[in-house]
Each structure stands twice: as structure tokens, then as C-alpha cells.
Amino acid sequence: MNFTLLQKVKVIEKKGALRQLGELMREGGFHHAFLVCDGGIAKMGLAEKIQTILEKEGFACTLYDKVQPDPPSTVVDEGSALCREAGCDCVIAVGGGSSIDTAKGINILRFNEGRILDYADPAKKMHPATGLIAIPTTSGTGSELSNGLIISDVEKGVKAPILAVEGMSEYTILDPELTVGMPVGLTLITGLDVFSHACESYTSILSTTPTDMLCEKIIEDVITYLPRAVADGSDITARERMLSAASLGGWMLACSSAHVGHSVAHVLGATFHMPHGKACAFSLPPTLEFIAPVVPEKVKKIGLLLGADFTGKETPVEIGQKAAEAYRNFRARFGLTSLGMDMPDENRLTVLARAVAHEPLAGLCPVSVTEDNALSLLKNFF
């Protein structure tokens, strides 16, 4: 059965909660962790810190610090072989969405044969994969509570969303102190990813009353706390609220999902390698305009939360324009006014529009996405 709300991940949220990792390992009955991160996290000394915590408490740890942005499937497949070889009984992800998604893939392959991209086929059955501990260091993707992992098929040059309740984390540690060191740019784009998750989950065809209520709260918190986190990275209250907003956003992805804004972000992210949160921040205004004729009240609510003025006499199209403008103004407060790249030529746009229309999340948009309307959407993106 598809339940309206299902939250399977056991969460520890507290400043300094990382110190409880050993306790969590005992709770799970784990002995040997496969620690997954990227080179940036390793350089920051965080992988070493975790290794020390684990080793001090008598646990073995094998480090895999080969995560890459827009995680390629080959890195997941290679990590999975090493994880099996080392005989690890749990996987710890530390880092942003790229590290958590890579670790999710590796953990799925501990319980399932084949290569990770085999599971991009929704018809492919998957055994439940337990033993994933996700420790986010960005406040963005919410992958720690979501049912998704976004893996790049490098040969085809596409990002493949794999949606699997069976692959979700078993535990997550939300320690806002780990996000304090995020530079301003990363804080901003990951925070705008949260905003897009909440807006798209709020308006997807899978949205329900409880997800609506949660999404409104996430939107409100990002509007309040993202400017504070950007202005002062050491504002721990802002960091804490943003980390929880991000995780709840990930939960909303698991319940009601993102839709065409993320389809655009996945297609353009795979093609132009722009940061995911930036792609989302530019796909949201055209998405709001695109869906306003079908869900005007929800788009209006997003506009109101962003401070837009409505007279009550607007048509649905005008509501979309006002909400999109309010979001562009919000984004501009952080200096994000232009994408910084030219519009591709018509032929390339047509190919991209086809990819958007066939991207799996597009089917959850309240407006039916075709190659034609995806082309108009893309033209508004650039």
C-alpha cells in the first residue's frame, strides 16, 4: 500500500550529535563501517574525525573517499565491490547529497546483485537495504530522509533518479555544527534546493493535506533562516533550522515528490554540470508560471509566503507571474540574478525538451508535460 505519510528513518538531531555515532553503531549491532565521502570532506578532516570516533569505540572502518559530484554509477559500482571485499556490515555517508546518494547506491548493492543502474528501471525488484547511516554536511538535498538517489549514467550523459523505499537510510544524524563551515555559495544553492523541494512537493499530483502543511512550514523556514545562514554562517540557530528544513524537505520528496522543476534541473545538470541547487533555483520561476493555471491557490500561497501582493482579482496566469517574480526577487537578494550562460540553439533546446518531457519526475507535475510545453519552459529557464 502507498501510505500518505511514512517516515522510516530514525533521526538524531542535536548540536554535537556526531559524538553519538558509536552509540548508534551499537544500537544497530554494527561492527565494521564503510565510510563514504568525497575528497573535499576528507580534506576538511571530517572523515578522519569519524574514523577516530569509531576506532576509539572499538569499531572497524574502511574509508572510501572517491565520491564525485553528480555521482557517476561507476563510482557506486566500484565502491560496492570494495565494501563487499572489506566485509563491512554498515555504510556511513558523510557529506552532501552526492556522498549520501553514492552511499545509498553502495548500500543497495550490499543486498542486491548487479549494477546500480539496473535499479533505475522501476520494474526491477529490490531487497530492502538496511544499515545506512547518513550524516549530512549540507542543508539541501534531504537525501538522508528521501527515497531517492540521483545517479549519473556517464555513457548516456543523463542523471537517473532511482526511487526506492527499500534503499532509504536506516539512521540519520543531523548535527548542525557540521554545516557551519559551508561557504556562502554552497549554503545558498543548497538552501534554494530545499525551497524547490518544498514548492514542488507542495504542488505535485501526489501532494496531500499533511504534506501541504509540512511543505508550507518548510517554505516559511527557508525564507526566514536562509538569509540568516548566508549572512552569518556561524548563526547556529539558522543552521539548525535549515538542516531540519532540508531533511523534512527530503521526507516530502519521499511522500509527494518533486516534479518538472527537478526534471529540468536533472537534464541541465547532467548536460552542463551546473550545481543542482542553482539549476533548481532557475527552474522554479518558470515552473510556478507553468503550473499556476492548474493549481493557482497553491502558487498564490507560495507567492504570499514570499511577500507578493495580490489584489484578489488576478487570473491564474497573473498569479503565476507574481509568484515567480516574488521568488526571483528573493533569489536576487543573494545576488543570484542571472544564470551566467547563453540559451542553447533551437536544435539543442529541442533535444533537451524531449529529455525533460521523458524524465521520470515530470509525470508528477500537475500539468501534463509534453515535448512542446517543455520547450517553452526551457526557453523561460535561460
Ligand X SMILES: NC(=O)c1ccc[n+]([C@@H]2O[C@H](COP(=O)([O-])OP(=O)(O)OC[C@H]3O[C@@H](n4cnc5c(N)ncnc54)[C@H](O)[C@@H]3O)[C@@H](O)[C@H]2O)c1
Cα separation, 374 vs 249, whole angstroms: 25
Q: Between residues 46 and 323, which has the closer beta carbon with respect to ligand X?
A: 46
215-252: string of b/e by CB count within 10 Å (b at 16+)?
bbebbebbeebbbebbeebebeebbbbbbbbbbbbbbb
> How far is Cα 328 from Cα 332, in angstroms, rounded to an integer?
6
Residue among 193 and 314 whose Cβ is closer to Fe ion:
193
Identify the residue among 277, 303, 320, 366 touching ligand X (CB under 6 A): 277
- Binding to ligand X by CB under 6 A, coded x per residue (else -) over 188-227, reads --x--x----------------------------------
* Residue 258 cell numbers, joined: 518533486
Contact residue for ligand X among 83, 129, 150, 305 (CB under 6 A): 150
Report the partner that residue 286 touches, choosing among ligand X, Fe ion, none (CB closer than 5 to 8 A by kind). none
How far is residue 173 CA from its own chain's centroid?
A: 16
157 makes contact with ligand X (CB under 6 A): no
CB of 102 to ligand X, least distance (A): 9
Residues that bind Fe ion (CB under 5 A): 193
Query: For residue 139, which of 101, 188, 92 has the smallest C-alpha distance?
Result: 188
From the list 51, 73, 138, 263, which residue makes contact with ligand X (rule: CB under 6 A)? 138
Q: How far apart are CA 225 and CA 237, in angstroms?
A: 8
Residue 176 binds which of Fe ion, ligand X, none (CB < 5-8 A, kind-dependent): none
Complex with Fe ion: residue 283 or 321, whichever CB lies closer? 283
H, E, C per residue of 248-313: HHHHHHHHCCCCHHHHHHHHHHHHHCCCHHHHHHHHHHHHHHHHCCCCHHHHHHHHHHCCCCCCCC
Cβ(177)–Cβ(18) under 8 Å? yes
Which option in ligand X, Fe ion, none does residue 137 bind, with CB closer than 5 to 8 A by kind? ligand X
Dihedral of CA 255/249/341/288: which sign?
positive
Run of H or E including 62: strand 60-67
CA distance 318 to 280: 22
Which CB sits closer to ligand X, 135 or 291? 135
- Residue pair 192/280 in contact by the 8 Å Cβ criterion: yes
Of 25-33, 124-132, 176-184, 222-230: span binding ligand X (CB under 6 A): 176-184
Nearer to ligand X, 292 or 355 (CB): 355
Nearer to Fe ion, 38 or 193 (CB): 193
Binding to ligand X in span 78-107, by CB under 6 A: 95-99, 101
Q: Alpha-carbon distance 47 to 62, whole Å?
A: 10
Q: Which is nearer to Fe ion, 70 or 193 (CB)?
A: 193
CB of 316 vs ligand X, minimal distance in Å: 28
Binding mask 11-50 for ligand X (x = CB under 6 A): ---------------------------x-xx---------
Question: Of these partners, ligand X, Fe ion, none, which one is at the site of residue 96 (CB under 5 to 8 Å by kind)?
Answer: ligand X
121 burial via Cβ count (<10 Å: 0-12, 13-18, 19+): exposed
In the complex, the residues that contact ligand X under the rule CB under 6 A are 38, 40-41, 69-71, 95-99, 101, 137-138, 140-143, 146, 148-150, 178-179, 181-182, 186, 190, 193, 250, 253, 276-277
